[in-house]
Amino acid sequence: MYISSNGSTYHVKVIGEGVPIVLLHGFTGSMTTWNQTVDILKQQFQCVLIDIMGHGKTDSPDDFTRYQIEKVARDIIHILDILEIPSAHIVGYSMGGRLALATAIIYPTRVASLILESSSPGLKTNEERAARRKSDEQLATRIEQEGMVDFVDYWENISLFSTQKALSKDKQLEIRHQRLENNPVGLANSLRGMGTGAQPSYWDRLTKVKCPTLLLCGELDQKFCTIAEEMGLSMQNARVEKIVEAGHAIHVEQPYFFGKIIIEFVSDHFS
């Protein structure tokens, strides 16, 4: 289905029945990244899949300020309003995790729990954010000037995704195809408006997150395990879980285990 929010149209799917779980994908992804997860969750939960602004079949506005994380969080809440969902569990991967966290901070009564996969609250200092905005602008310009094939050739070979080389060739091709289906304008403006350098730092607001929170990281992704551990120290109701034999994209590399963890976490807190 398509849902209009603040002048932009979002692609949304609802699969299954029961307690609602919203799944928010990462940069260059789309809702299809969750297919294996949904196959596991749909027996017990209502899965709400959303193509985030600039990705998949959702609009890719020319104005990069439309992608600001607070504005997109407001869109997520509007979508829940249209679907008549007063409160949902939110799963977010990487960029989607940053969006999920922003939503929980700004709209705490609408988020029953958070499951953040390989994510962060942003960068701590103005200097770090400025440096990241500069590098993200360079990457955005590259996408616009060189096109999607050049960008995906580069992106799938960065060190963050090195563990995905162990996936089957068919799975690697599926991920590549998914990335190539995105709109270059959407990806470039997502970096400019919603990138880690563009968003506010939420480090000093982590103490305000009261809902049960699960911070997931792959043991082979040391950077994000370190971030998760530090986040866990600041949050009142959070625990960190490291997933063995997984890198950044746990839901892709260990899909069965990922789905099982979500079911156990939600069931333990809301049975």
Mapping DSSP to helix (H, G, I), strand (E, B) and coil, where does residue 115 land?
A: strand
What is the DSSP code (8-state) at residue 92? Answer: E
**Chain centroid to CA 36: how far?**
16
CA within 13 Å, CB half, 77: 17
Axis crossing angle, helix 126-146 with helix 148-155, rounded to the nearest 10? 130
Q: Which domain holds residue 217?
A: 2-270
Q: What is the reported pLDDT for 48?
A: 98
* Angstrom distance (rounded) from CA 134 to CA 74: 26
Q: Is the pLDDT score of 270 beyond 80? A: no
**Chain centroid to CA 257: how far?**
18
First vs last Cα of the chain: how many Å apart?
Answer: 30
Q: What is the reported pLDDT for 159?
A: 83
Q: What residue type is assigned to position 171 of the chain?
A: K
Q: What is the mean pLDDT of residues 25-53?
A: 96
Q: What is the reported pLDDT for 210?
A: 94
Residues 55/34, Cβ–Cβ less than 8 Å: no
Q: What is the reported pLDDT for 162?
A: 84
CB atoms inside a 10 Å sphere around CB 160: 16
Higher local confidence (pLDDT), 111 or 236: 111
Residues 64/193, Cβ–Cβ less than 8 Å: yes
Q: What is the mean pLDDT of residues 155-162?
A: 86
Q: Quote the tokens at residue 219.
A: 């043991």
Q: Is the pLDDT score of 50 beyond 80? A: yes
* Angstrom distance (rounded) from CA 12 to CA 5: 12
Q: What is the reported pLDDT for 28?
A: 95
Is residue 269 very low, low, confident or very high in pLDDT (cuts 50, 70, 90)?
A: confident
Q: What is the reported pLDDT for 271?
A: 60
Place of tokens 């162990």: 166
pTM of the model: 0.95
If one counts the domains in the chain, the total is: 1
Domain harbouring 27, CATH code:
3.40.50.1820
Phi, psi torsion values for 181, nearest 5 degrees: -75, -10
